Amino acid sequence: MINDGQKLAKAPGTGPESDGEHASPLRWRILRILAPLVFTICAISGAVSYYLYASEAVEHMHDDHQEMMDIVALSMPDAIWNFDDERIHAYLETLSHHASVHAVRYFNHEGELVEEIAKSGTALDPVTHSKPLVYQNSLVKQAVGRLELESTNAPLLAARYQGGAVLFGIALTIILSILLMLSWQLKRYVMDPLSKAVRRMRQLEGQHATFQRIPPRSLARDQQGHRGAEQAGGANLQHDGSAA
């Protein structure tokens, strides 16, 4: 069709599929910005949680060791006072059975090492707890020795690895869930309304806004065709007039 001496044709990229093509890259650009942010937040939160968990586990272990030594210190002085070596060895062996205890030592009242039960290898981050052994009854109160317990963090290290793997899995699940939720939210509440608004604005622009100019060569060929048709029509009229 010719409108004001110009032939127009429908412009490409004005359909709904074009809106989807433009909306999808925009959504992925937003996700590429949000994904590192979400990952960083989860990584920092996970690191802080893991550090607090590890610190609390170590503190709890040392509290347990101190509590065990307090319990043994109530009954072991009686065995020392009565020279009951079997009971003394039984107390030390009971303490050494705990996985987080690397060595147990008993010193006499002069500070000499009397007995030691130690596990093979080197203790990891060892901490030594000491407890004086005092025998006391209604008539006498006397120091009879000292008890030492050396702890190791080896069992906690294995537990940390397991806890770290669990926390990593949880964090990865949370990150993927958040990204999927954000993608769905962006599509439903941002991209889809935006695409509808763009389509409606294009519809309001009218017919001329959805058409573009045909190249000049095609327009020139059409004009030449119209002139040829007009000339042929004039020649036919002259021929008919002369024949009459």
Q: Is residue 181 in some structural domain?
A: no
Distance CA 130, CA 111 (A): 12
| pLDDT of 103 above 90 | yes
What's the Cα-to-Cα distance from 229 to each of 82, 192, 242, rounded to whole Å?
A: 135, 51, 20
Q: Is residue 115 in some structural domain?
A: yes
Q: Is residue 50 in some structural domain?
A: no
Mean pLDDT of 99-112: 91
Q: Is residue 178 in some structural domain?
A: no
- In 3D space, the residue among 120, 109, 121, 98 whose CA is nearest the CA of residue 147 turns out to be 109
Q: Is residue 194 in some structural domain?
A: no
| Span 108-138, pLDDT tens digits | 989 999 999 998 888 878 889 999 999 988 8
For the sheet containing 2-3, what is the strand order?
2-3, 6-10, 211-213
Q: What is the β-pairing status of strands 2-3 and 6-10?
A: antiparallel
Q: What is the pLDDT of residue 227?
A: 65
Q: Please tell me the number of Cα atoms within 13 Å of 52 on its side-chain side.
A: 7
Q: Is 231 exposed, middle or buried (0-12, 13-18, 19+ CB in 10 A)?
A: exposed
Q: What sections of 97-215 are H helices per DSSP?
A: 154-186, 192-204
Which comes out higher in pLDDT, residue 196 or 164? 196
Which comes out higher in pLDDT, residue 231 or 61? 61
Q: Is residue 185 in some structural domain?
A: no
For the chain, the average pLDDT equals: 76
The percentage of residues in the chain with a pLDDT greater than 70, rounded to a whole number, is 73
Please give the residue range of the domain that contains residue 134. Answer: 59-152
Q: How many domains does the chain have?
A: 1
